[in-house]
Amino acid sequence: MSALPEATPTPTTPEREAGHVLAVRGPIVDVRCTRLPPIGQALHLRVDGETATLEVFQHLDDTRVRAIALRPTIGVARGDPVVDTGGPVTVPIDDACLGRLLDVLGQPLDGGPALDTQTLYPILRPAPLLVDTMPAESILATGIKVIDLLCPFVRGGKTGLFGGAGVGKTVLMMEFMHAVSTAYNGVSVFAGVGERIREGHELWHEMKESGVLPRAVLVFGQMDESPGVRYHAGFTGLTYAEFLRDRGFGEVLFLMDNLFRFVQAGTEISGLLGRMPASVGYQPTLVTEVASLQDRILSTRAGAITAVQAVFVPADDMSDPAVTAILGHLDSTVILSREQASCGIYPAVDPLVSGSRLLDRRMVGERHYHVARAVREYLARYKELEDIIAMLGMEELSADDRRIVNRARLLQRYLTQPFQVVADHTGIAGVTVPLEITLADCERFLDGSYDQLTEDQCYMRGAMS
């Protein structure tokens, strides 16, 4: 049997009074309780005629708890009554969640009606039992040449998308969503953690225009909201992904932008609770918090959740404690390079540092393994020769090196690709390239069959024939 809690109907027992507000400091609310609620319990209080949700994070003594508010605390006063819901923070769950834009508590942000359901799921849930999980050992082909060739996604695995602002993370995520919804008849869940309102608004409209939205759920914890909201947005999105997986909706793609903001929200909460910071100022519970999210992204007999998570790298330091904690959970790493983007190479994937644990001859087969290795060797040799070319010119290279450089530049242009979701903006029809065709084309580049082509003839196109 699965270890995941079953969906629970809305409790019929009335909420009981838990106590009253003792102090308010920003999103932190101290409550004096008549009966001490457990850690993780949801409490309610009334603010300006609306219900505000608090989550218990800390027991201060036998009568006081410290909670994080999941909404602004403006209007909360000392002495306000607090009621105990009798359970953890939950969200409404229903098939009608597809095509909707929701907040961290499952309430609509798109102006539509609330989800008409009495079924609730707790957002903080244990991972499935090990015996119920399935190994992630197959490729989830995306139709994106550079991804499928050099850093293939693991079906039911976790991929980190590392990059700064403006290198194409959001466009790449939207293309993944489009590929899963069309090629696999699957669904997508997008968790916007600390999203700017402008970014969320643009993403919502772009997804509607590209036809992706009806097969997707969007959950936003916006940048101007409480750190408790930003911290839980990923858990809420993952809860909807688990529901869709267990309901048999096929391939489920879970996207999170940005996982680093999840870590930052945890750091804020830790500081507000008075915990002593650990390495580089991060919370002492960093590794546990990251694991509590990542360990729920699993394949079961009902289906698979494939996660793609954007990760901001502070100061481009891959040894940062937050990045290190995240890297340990990933099956594939896709590094987006500003240098690639500045050269017009889109998607701006750095082929030399991106990789996947699936790129092993036992997993992908001898052909795929050798083609990917040869392509990477050509690109690496070109990278080594760039300084010599810049200072002395191509004429100073040996004939073998000139041939390698020419083929590497052709391969570099070939691995660019126009995307379906931005075809209206670029004026170039998007293409999807099966892995088998990508391998065949790369073999021809490597054996010299396309040496006579110009770089422009390989740029921003799909298959070569």
pLDDT at 10 over 80: no
Distance CA 284, CA 62 (A): 24
Name the more confident of 1 and 28: 28
pLDDT score, position 171: 85
pLDDT score, position 29: 95
In SS3 terms, the chain reads as CCCCCCCEECCCCCCEEEEEEEEEECCEEEEEECCCCCCCEEEEEEECCEEEEEEEEEECCCCEEEEEECCCCCCCCCCCEEEEEEEECEEECCHHHCCCEECCCCCECCCCCCCCCCEEEECCCCCCCHHHEECCCCECCCCCHHHHHHCCCECCCEEEEECCCCCCHHHHHHHHHHHHHHHCCCEEEEEEEEECHHHHHHHHHHHHHHCCHHHEEEEEEECCCCHHHHHHHHHHHHHHHHHHHHCCCCCEEEEEECHHHHHHHHHHHHHHCCCCCCHHHCCCCHHHHHHHHHCCCCEECCECEEEEEEECCHHHCCCCHHHHHHHCCCCEEEEECHHHHHCCCCCCECCCCCEECCCCHHHHCHHHHHHHHHHHHHHHHHHHHHHHHHHHCHHHCCHHHHHHHHHHHHHHHHCCCCCHHHHHHHCCCCCCCCHHHHHHHHHHHHCCCCCCCCHHHHCCCCCCC
pLDDT at 104 over 90: yes
pLDDT score, position 238: 95
What is the arithmetic mean of pLDDT over 153-170? 85
pLDDT at 181 over 80: no
Buried/exposed 158-180: b ≥16 CB within 10 Å, e otherwise = bbbbbbeeebbbbbbbbbbbbbb
Side-chain-facing half-sphere of 96: CA atoms under 13 Å:
12
Specify the range with the lowest mean pLDDT, choosing from 73-87, 312-326, 331-345: 312-326
Across the chain, what does the average pLDDT equal? 89
Kindly indicate the confidence band of residue 14, based on its pLDDT and cuts at 50, 70 and 90. low
CB-based burial label for 248 (10 Å; 0-12, 13-18, 19+): exposed
pLDDT at 13 over 50: no
pLDDT at 4 over 80: no
Provide the 10 A C-beta neighbour count for residue 341.
17
Specify the range with the lowest mean pLDDT, choosing from 1-5, 182-186, 350-354: 1-5
Could you read off the pLDDT of 330-373 as tens digits, one per residue?
Answer: 999 999 988 898 888 999 999 999 999 999 998 899 999 999 99
What is the arithmetic mean of pLDDT over 163-182? 81
Active site residues: 169, 195-196
pLDDT score, position 113: 92
Kindly indicate the confidence band of residue 291, based on its pLDDT and cuts at 50, 70 and 90. very high
pLDDT score, position 427: 85
pLDDT at 295 over 80: yes
Distance CA 455, CA 410 (A): 5
Could you read off the pLDDT of 238-281 as tens digits, one per residue?
Answer: 999 999 998 888 789 899 988 999 999 999 999 999 899 988 89
Could you read off the pLDDT of 371-419 as tens digits, one per residue?
Answer: 999 999 999 999 999 988 888 888 888 999 999 999 999 999 999 999 9
pLDDT at 305 over 80: yes
Kindly indicate the confidence band of residue 433, based on its pLDDT and cuts at 50, 70 and 90. very high
Name the more confident of 197 and 280: 280
pLDDT at 180 over 60: yes
